[in-house]
Amino acid sequence: MKLAIVGATGMVGREMLKILEQKKILIEELILVASEKSVGKKLMFKNKKLSVISLSSLVKRKIDFALFSAGKEVSKLWAPKLAEKGCRVIDNSSYWRMCSKHKLIVPEINGEIIDNKDMIIANPNCSTIQLVAVLYPLHQKYKISRVIVSTYQSVSGTGKRAVEQLRNEEKGLNSKKVYPYQIYKNVLPHCDDFEENGYTKEEMKIINETKKILDEKINITATAARVPVLRGHSESVNITFEKSFSIEEVKKTLENIRGIKLADNTSKNIYPTPITSENQNEVFVGRIRRDESLKNTINLWIVADNLRKGAATNTVQILQKILKKSKTNDSK
């Protein structure tokens, strides 16, 4: 397998390198791609130094897969060019997610719908991934009618410059601001740009992507906030079911799902935090309790590393799902 990582020098690209190495995926040739200013830069993979090349150089090569994490404009322009040459693209940007021709995949939920015709596959938004990972098994069992989600998102979700802003503000240094206000010791109810309806793009991504992945009939609303945390997104979620439930049943259901870790024992102060999730590939859930103000409703708390399961891990898992399917088809 010849594999390219587009956006290899970015925060998510570097996580992809770590995960590919950890999962010991057999790669014949790994090609690292970034912007022109990063060409020639060296990155380590399996104790070897690999040089970064440009996208214009990449399209001249014959490759099997490309993992994209370089922003929607790069994906818009270059993903189709690679797909035309027979390269399958797994894209971490927002550009292809809501396109009806392209599948939006969380492997544990809908990985089986991928087929050989899918040349560009979309990776969902980081906040969406951790949300639907928990909603899916509950929707299967109790049928969700409505979801209210409030997110508390780390600065790494914005990228390197946002991390630098937080660190500089903590040290009392002046630096370029990515956010309109100070983020250190602050909370901003503002993730991504505002749209005409008063919601931010991030909030609309959560709403629209959840419906596409799970069920168009689910009523969902979202508020996304940026908090002074380096990595790891948290979500407070209120879920109304059509069917009755017991809290113990809900906990047992989630406890038995691969990729989810239950951390819920308030008598011992056990619940998920961003630090809990750091460098972990799982989605953590806790504070599960009945909403006593509304029938068939619960509150819970979800945390995941936004650079891992929220981005790089999910992308690599999509790749693994494709490889597994190809192997199964070849053996038939």
Q: Is residue 331's pLDDT more than 70?
A: no
Show the DSSP H helices in the chain as ranges. Answer: 11-22, 55-58, 72-84, 107-110, 126-142, 160-171, 201-213, 247-255, 274-277, 313-331
Give residue-wise pLDDT tens across range 131-162: 999 999 999 999 999 999 999 999 999 999 99
Q: Are residues 120 and 185 in the same domain?
A: no
pLDDT digits (tens, 9 = 90+) for 244-267: 999 999 999 999 999 999 999 999
List, for residues 9-39, the tens digit of each pLDDT value.
999 999 999 999 999 899 999 999 999 999 9
Question: Measured between alpha carbons, how far is 173 from 246 in angstroms, rounded to an integer?
Answer: 51
| Judgement on whether residues 148 and 52 belong to the same structural domain of the protein | no
CATH code, domain with 286: 3.30.360.10
Whether residues 120 and 262 share a domain: the answer is: no
Count of domains forming the chain? 2
What is the average pLDDT across 228-243? Answer: 98
Q: Are residues 134 and 103 in the same domain?
A: no
pLDDT of residue 325: 85
pLDDT digits (tens, 9 = 90+) for 177-195: 999 999 999 999 999 999 9
Catalytic residues: 126, 233
Distances (CA, A) of 72 to 68, 78, 97, 134, 329: 9, 10, 10, 27, 32
The verdict on 275 and 131 lying in the same domain is: yes
Could you list the residue range(s) of the whole structural domain that residue 157 is in?
127-306
What residues are paired with 215 via a beta bridge? none
Closest C-alpha among 100, 96, 91 to residue 65 = 91
Q: What is the pLDDT of residue 328?
A: 67
Give the Cβ contact number of residue 188 at 10 Å.
17
Residue 15 belongs to domain with CATH number: 3.40.50.720
